[in-house]
Amino acid sequence: MGIIGVSRSRVFYETHPRPRTDNPIPYHQRRISRLPDATVKRIVEMLDDNPHCGVDQVFYATLNNGIYLASLRSFYRVAKAHGKLLHQRHNTKARQAKRRHDAAPPHVHATAPGQVLCWDITFLPGRCYGQTFALHMVIDLYSRAIVGFVVAERENS
C-alpha cells in the first residue's frame, strides 16, 4: 500500500462500503428536536378545549394530570404557530378600551371658595448638599389661596 501511495483505511472502506439507505433525508430537512405531528395536534386540541386559559395554565394542568407532551416553550411555539395564544384567541380591543389612559380626567368645578381643595408637595433645598425638605401645601381651587402648609424633613412625615 505504501508502494502505490494508498492508505490502509482507503482500501478498507473501498472493500467494506457503508450500508446505504433507500430514501435519504437531506440534512436541511432533518430536525431531531421537532415535535411529531400527533403531539402538535394534541396540544392544539388542549388549547381549543380551554379557550379562556393561557398556555401556562394548559401546560401545568396537563402536567398535574401526569401527562408530559412537551416543554412549556414548545407549548408556546405550537400556540404561536397555530394562532392559539390568548391575545390571538380573543378580541382584546374591548379590554384595551377600558384602560385607565383612555378614561377622561376628572373635571372639578368650584363656584365659591372652600368647595374644592387641592394639595401639592414641593421639595425645597436644604443647607447641605443632598438635603431637602418637603413642603406640603393645601390650595383653594376657586380663590387660589393657600389654606395650609407644613414643612417636613421627609415626604411621608
Cell of 107: 373635571
pLDDT tens, residue by residue, 17-27: 888 888 888 88
Any domain includes 147: yes
The DSSP code for 27 is G
Order of all β-strands in the sheet with 132-140: 117-125, 132-140, 146-152
Segments of the chain with pLDDT less than 50: none
Q: What is the pLDDT of residue 86?
A: 73
Residues 138, 120: Cα–Cα separation, whole Å:
7
Specify the number of domains making up the chain: 2
- Domain end, chosen from 93, 120, 142, is at 93
Q: Is residue 2 domain-resident?
A: no
Residue 1 in domain: no
Same domain, 76 and 138: no
pTM value > 0.75: no
Give yes or no: residues 60 and 82 share one domain.
yes
Enclosing domain of residue 147 = 106-157
Report the candidate in 109, 139, 108 with the shortest Cα–Cα distance to residue 121. 139
Residues 12 and 86 in one domain: yes
Q: For residue 83, what pLDDT is reported?
A: 86
Give the DSSP H/E element, type plus range, for residue 56.
Answer: helix 55-64
Give Cα separations from 13 to 7, 20, 21, 26, 68 (angstroms): 10, 13, 17, 23, 44
Domain boundary among 93, 118, 148: 93
Single-letter residue type at 141: L
